[in-house]
Amino acid sequence: MTSFVDHPAVAFAAIAAPAIVAGSFAWQHRRRLKRISALGAEAAIARLAPADVRKAPIARAARLGAALVLVTIALAGPRWGEGTTIIRQRGLDVAIAMDASLSMMAEDERPSRLQRMRQEVRRYRAAAPGDRNALLAFAGKSYILTPLTTDDGAIELFLDNFDPNVVGLGGTALAPTVIQGVELLRAATGSASRVLVILSDGEAFDDHDAAIAAAKEAGKDGISIVTVGFGTEEGTTIPVREGNEIVEKRDQDGEVVITRYDPTLLRAVAEASGGEFIAATDGDRGGRLSQALSRLDAEQRDVEEGLSRPLRLEWFLVPALLLLLLDAWRTDGGNWNRARRILRFAAPLVIAVVFTNPAFAQNPATLFEQGRYDEAARQWKLAIEGGDERLSALYNLGSALLAADSLPTAEEALERAAATPEANVRNRALFNLGLARLKRARRPEEPDRQRAAEGAIAAYRALLLEDPDDIDAKWNYELALRAREQAGGGGSRDDPQSSPQQAPEAQQQQENPNNMSRQQAEQLLAAASRDERESQARKQAGTRVQRPPGGKDW
């Protein structure tokens, strides 16, 4: 902002306020003297009337004139200094361990145990956007996919691509999963409550006593374990692909494998840690999981949002109110008259306070379109503080902060907004989240450009998996890949799609300033996906020849 007030024209009116008050009191004083002189001779009036009746009310005019000046300046919306607003959100540190064994491909839950597990994880995350989550995959061994993070784009990327190939070792071993998940949570900073969530069909082939012992140790460290079951106790076969055909999984003896949901170990692990067990027969397991976690103590996370030049109404309205109250008290009259005067002068001031509140100001979407991004951010921030719990409101706030170049705070809001199940808002939040990180990655002064570039890549991957035709996202994805390569060197000549996508109620069409064709963009995305698969395969190299727990690879 270049002005210290929101409404300069109103501020100029404060210059005329003293003259208006002085002229009004002078006119009233002349009228009073004229009425008094009509009552009789001057000598009689001087002898009978109090001296202050004919005295000019200079002191009162000064009080009311000063009060009017202060109220007028307040109406203009004065701003100065630097301010920081704190948004507090409760959240847990939650490590989510997901069963990636072949038995999760069984279809006794539709469409499959694995697909249903991913759905329930998304339901939980949509209900608890303030939680920091880590993802673990386990089968014959446990493997960390992501550390504790609020990066919804990265988490969604791994959820979308989660399948039995992600671990690379068949079978099911629960004890290593408990140990690795607990170690991950122990290393977490902060005082948030820590929870390990294990989602599985419970068909584990390792030492059950070892898993229960590890759960007891977790409970001693204050880490609760919540287990969630999938499948049916009647069980079913496991479909596997052989060439171009889908066949039933068979064991080493050639017998068809029947996989069954086993709640015994899952319940025992949860009870050993003092946690909670959610059975496969429960309908909304994602909702039940969210409720179970909400009963745990949660750290109050503070999110700072730096907004320049805060509104300073109180500096003017409080002195104005004191002057009005002083004037009402010093004016002649009984107690009732004084009360009426106080009400008469205080009522307009209260109205001024209400209607100069930014919550009653111009529509923030209009402010955004006008390029007044700081003001739009303030409006959306106040709406959130006033109880607006929609994730689209967080998206709007993050987009305005992004446009105002307040990148770190914009990322925080957009990460939380990307947890919404609404595809329109979610995709836009992912786009702007990637853009914020890409901008940081392309700044030479940014201390961690590599990490910013990786975050931008993760956000655009998650977006492109949902909307492969988003040409702007493909262009920015390529720039993020370049930024990662150039993190230690100079910048790029190409510019990203740098206009943030606007709020749903104020959409605009993005123009593509580059000459990349759709075919080139498709080739780029395919190459990136191939590189990612090859990278994951290299990480898992050497593990596939290991013998799974219990000699069973499902």
CATH of residue 214's domain is 3.40.50.410
Confirm whether 328 is domain-assigned: yes
Higher pLDDT, 324 or 236: 236
Where is the domain boundary, 356, 384, 419?
Answer: 356
Q: What percent of the chain has pLDDT over 70?
A: 72
pLDDT reported for residue 180: 92
Strands 276-278 and 236-237: unpaired
Rg (CA), the chain: 34
Q: Look at residue 122 and tell me whether its pLDDT is greater than 50.
A: yes
Confirm whether 235 is domain-assigned: yes
Q: Look at residue 463 and tell me whether its pLDDT is greater than 50.
A: yes
Residues 183 and 246 in one domain: yes
Residues 99 and 182 in one domain: yes
Higher pLDDT, 166 or 346: 166
Residues 220 and 287 in one domain: yes
Residues 422 and 462 in one domain: yes
pLDDT reported for residue 49: 62
pLDDT, tens digit, 9 for 90 and up, residues 186-237? 877 555 678 999 999 999 888 899 999 999 999 998 899 999 999 999 999 9
Mean pLDDT over the full length of the chain: 76
pLDDT reported for residue 215: 95
Rounded mean pLDDT of 465-488?
82
pLDDT reported for residue 14: 81
Q: Look at residue 51 and tell me whether its pLDDT is greater than 90.
A: no
Q: What is the CATH number of the domain that holds 495?
A: 1.25.40.10
Rounded mean pLDDT of 59-87?
75
Local structure of 269: helix, strand or coil: helix
Count of Cβ atoms closer than 10 Å to residue 260 Cβ: 16
Rounded mean pLDDT of 14-34?
80
pLDDT, tens digit, 9 for 90 and up, residues 515-544? 344 444 445 555 555 454 444 444 444 333
Structure tokens given for 335: 């107690």
DSSP 432: H
Which of 309, 303, 493, 513 minimizes the C-alpha distance to 404? 309
Confirm whether 495 is domain-assigned: yes
Q: Look at residue 104 and tell me whether its pLDDT is greater than 60.
A: yes
Residues 281 and 230 in one domain: yes
Higher pLDDT, 97 or 361: 97
Residues 494 and 443 in one domain: yes
Confirm whether 531 is domain-assigned: no
Residues 146 and 260 in one domain: yes
Confirm whether 523 is domain-assigned: no
Residues 132 and 278 in one domain: yes
pLDDT, tens digit, 9 for 90 and up, residues 345-404? 555 655 555 544 444 446 777 777 777 788 888 888 887 877 777 778 888 888 888 888
C-beta separation of 272 from 215 below 8 A: yes
Full domain range(s) for residue 319: 8-78+314-356
Local structure of 38: helix, strand or coil: coil
Residues 379 and 436 in one domain: yes
Alpha carbon separation from 252 to 207, 242, 256, 545 (Å, rounded): 21, 16, 10, 16
Q: What percent of the chain has pLDDT over 90?
A: 18
| Highest mean pLDDT: which range of 19-28, 32-41, 74-83, 170-179 | 170-179
pLDDT, tens digit, 9 for 90 and up, residues 227-257? 999 999 999 999 988 878 889 988 888 889 9
Residues 268 and 171 in one domain: yes
Rounded mean pLDDT of 35-45?
68
Strands 276-278 and 223-229: parallel
Confirm whether 551 is domain-assigned: no
Residues 164 and 116 in one domain: yes
Confirm whether 408 is domain-assigned: yes
Confidence of residue 491 (pLDDT cuts 50, 70, 90): very low
Confirm whether 392 is domain-assigned: yes
Confidence of residue 99 (pLDDT cuts 50, 70, 90): very high
Give a three-class secondary structure readout of 207-259. Answer: CHHHHHHHHHHHHHCCEEEEEEECCCCCCEECEEEECCEEEECECCCCCECEE
Q: Look at residue 548 and tell me whether its pLDDT is greater than 70.
A: no
Where is the domain boundary, 324, 356, 388?
Answer: 356
| Cα 427 from Cα 40, distance rounded (Å) | 85
Residues 352 and 368 in one domain: no
pLDDT, tens digit, 9 for 90 and up, residues 249-293? 888 888 899 999 999 999 999 999 999 999 998 878 888 888 888
Domain count, the chain: 3
Cα dihedral across residues 208, 214, 219, 223: positive or negative: negative
Local structure of 91: helix, strand or coil: strand
Confidence of residue 307 (pLDDT cuts 50, 70, 90): very low
| Cα 166 from Cα 181, distance rounded (Å) | 17
